[in-house]
Amino acid sequence: MNDLIKTSNKFPIPKSMKAWVLGNANELKMIDKEIPLPQKSEVLIRIDAVAICATDLDVISHGPPAMIEGGLPFNKNFTPGHEYMGTIVALGPSVDEFEIGTRVTVEIHSGCGQCKRCRMGMYTSCHNYGLNYGDNDKGHRANGFTSDGGFKQYAINHINTLIKVPDDMTDEEATLVVTAGTTMYGLTELGGLVSGESLVVIGPGPIGLLGVAIAKSLGAYPVSLVGTRNDRLEIGKKLGADYVFNVKEEKNIVQAVKQKVSNLGVDYVIECAGTEQALNDAILMTNRGGKICLAAFPHEQVKINIPHMVINNIYMYGIRGEGKSATHRAMAFMKEKRFDAKLIHTHTFKLEDLPLALKYARERVDGAIKVVLKPWE
C-alpha cells in the first residue's frame, strides 16, 4: 500500500471483498472485487450496514445513474446503494480529521468544489455532476449514483461525506441519517425557522416519516401527516405527528386539513408522495405566502395548479437529496434522541440476500419500510 495511507492492525484489510454489481437493467450479481485505496482527502470504510432506498430500485431497474438524464456509459459492473455506514479502516494522504476505528455514516454527494454551485455551498447541485471519470474527472462523486455505492463490503468516501456515529447508536439506525437529512435539507431551503409553524407531510414513506420527526424536532406545530395506510400513519404519530389523515377516509383531504389546522391552509408542505394528486393537494392546502418542498417526484409530466400557486405567492422547492450539511443537523437531533428513527427500520438481511431484501422493499412484504443489509453477518 501507498505509504502515505494509514492503516491499523486492529482493522486488517483483505485483498478482496464481496460486491453486488449491475449487469443489464435488473441484473445483479455478487462478485469478488479488489478493495480500492483511499486517495487524498478520502478514507476506506468497512461497510457495517446499508439500507435500501426507493431510488436504489430505480437505479437497478433503469441502469445507473437513474438520476442523470441521458444516462452514462458505465452501466455494467456498477454497485448501487447509497445509505450506508461503517467503520473507517484506512486514511488517505493528509486525512487527520478522522481516525481509524471511528464509526461513520455517509452523505451521498461530494461536490467538485470548483463549479459555481459548489462555491456557493450547493454541492448537491454540482455543475460537474457525473464528471468523475478519466481525463474529465472533476472530482464529483455521488456514491451509488455516479460512483460505486454501498451494496458491498468496503467503500471509498471523501471526508466531506462523513458524519461521526455516536457509540450508543446502532448500525441500523445510523443508516437512516441520510434519510432524515433529506427533509432537513428541504426545511433548510424553506428557511429553517419552522418552530410554531403549521406543516403537512404528504406520503408516509421513510422520507415522509422522518420528515415528521425532523419537523417536530425543529418545533413545527401542528405537524400533520397525510397517507393512505393506517399502519404507516400510526408510526407517524409515534414520531410526533399531531394529526394524521387517511386520504382514503376523507372526502376532500385539502378541506380536512384546513378544517383541522386553519381555514387559511398551512405554512409548509413537504411533499413525499410524488403523485399528481398529492402535488395539487400540496398547492391547495398551502396558505398565501407558504412554501412547498418537493422531496419526491412523479416519473412524468403532471398537470399542476400553477394559477393557484402564483395568485397565492407560493414557492416550490425541488429538493434533491441531502445538501448543505443537512445530515449533520439531522444527526444532531438523532444523537439527542429527539425521536426514534428505528421505528421505520423493519427488516434486516445478509448482504448475500440483497435480491430478497429488494423484493421486501419494493413490494412492502410484511409491512417493510426500511430494509437494511448487514454485509458482515
Q: How far apart are CA 183 and CA 352, in angstroms?
A: 31
Is there a cis peptide before residue 204, judged by omega within 30 degrees of 0?
Answer: no
Closer to a copy of itself by Cβ: residue 73 or 134: 134
Question: Across the strands, what pairs with 104?
Answer: 86, 164
**DSSP state letters, 233-255:** HHHHHHTT-SEEEEGGG-S-HHH
DSSP letter, residue 94: T
Q: Least distance to a copy of itself from the beta carbon of 138, Å?
A: 7
Kindly tell me which of 243 and 315 has the beta carbon lying closer to a copy of itself: 315
In terms of CB distance, is 101 or 196 closer to a copy of itself?
196
Nearer to a copy of itself, 37 or 139 (CB): 139
Q: CA 18, CA 21: separation in Å to the nearest integer?
A: 10
* Closer residue to a copy of itself, CB minimum distance, 309 or 361: 309
Q: Amino acid identity of 371?
A: V
Tell how far CA 26 is from the center of its chain: 21
Distance CA 347, CA 334 (A): 20
Nearer CB in complex with a copy of itself: 84/333: 333
Q: Is residue 123 close enough to count as binding a copy of itself by CB under 8 A?
A: yes
| Complex with a copy of itself: residue 12 or 134, whichever CB lies closer | 134
List the beta bridge partners of residue 246.
227
Which position has the grid cell 418552530?
195
Smallest gap, in angstroms, from Cβ of residue 40 to a copy of itself?
Answer: 8
- For 7, 96, 146, the CA distances from 2, given in Å and listed in that order, are 10, 16, 26
Residues of this chain, 60-89, that bind a copy of itself according to CB under 8 A:
67, 69
Binding to a copy of itself in span 129-158, by CB under 8 A:
129, 135-139
The residue among 19 and 118 lying less far from a copy of itself, judged by its C-beta, is: 118
255 belongs to the binding site for a copy of itself (CB under 8 A):
no
Q: Shortest Cβ distance from residue 365 to a copy of itself (Å)? A: 27
Distance of closest approach, residue 244 Cβ to a copy of itself, in angstroms: 18
Query: Residue 7: enclosing H or E segment and its boundaries?
Result: strand 6-7
The least distance separating a copy of itself from the CB of residue 14, rounded to whole angstroms, comes to: 28
Residues 50, 83 contacting (CB under 8 angstroms): yes
Smallest distance from a copy of itself to CB 18, Å: 31
Nearer to a copy of itself, 14 or 121 (CB): 121
Q: Which of 23, 54, 264, 355 binds a copy of itself (CB under 8 A)?
A: 264
Distance of closest approach, residue 299 Cβ to a copy of itself, in angstroms:
6
Residue 57 in contact with a copy of itself, rule: CB under 8 A? no
Please say whether the dihedral angle defined by the alpha carbons of residues 64, 68, 74 and 75, taken in this order, is positive or negative.
positive
Q: Please, are residues 121 and 52 in contact by the beta-carbon 8 Å criterion?
A: no
Q: Which stretch in 14-22, 146-154, 183-191, 341-349 sits in contact with a copy of itself by CB under 8 A?
A: 183-191
- Residues 273-332 within binding reach of a copy of itself (CB under 8 A): 279-280, 287-289, 294, 296-320, 323-325, 328-332
Rank residues 138 and 370 by Cβ distance to a copy of itself and give the closer one: 138
Smallest distance from a copy of itself to CB 225, Å: 17
Positions in 189-248 near a copy of itself (CB under 8 A) = 189, 191-193, 195-196, 217-221
Cα–Cα distances (Å) from 137 to 93, 157, 158, 302, in that order, read: 19, 16, 14, 36
Distances (CA, A) of 84 to 167, 174, 268, 349, 367: 17, 8, 30, 14, 22
If one asks whether residue 188 binds a copy of itself (CB under 8 A), the answer comes out as yes
232 half-sphere exposure, CB direction, 13 A CA radius: 25
Grid coordinates 458491498 are at which residue? 152
Residues 328-357 interacting with a copy of itself (rule: CB under 8 A): 328-333, 335-336, 338
Q: By CB under 8 A, what part of segment 89-118 binds a copy of itself?
A: 94, 96-97, 113-114, 116-118
Instruction: Please give the Cα distance from 38 to 33 (Å, whole number).
Output: 16
Residue 73 CB, shortest distance to a copy of itself, in Å, is 18
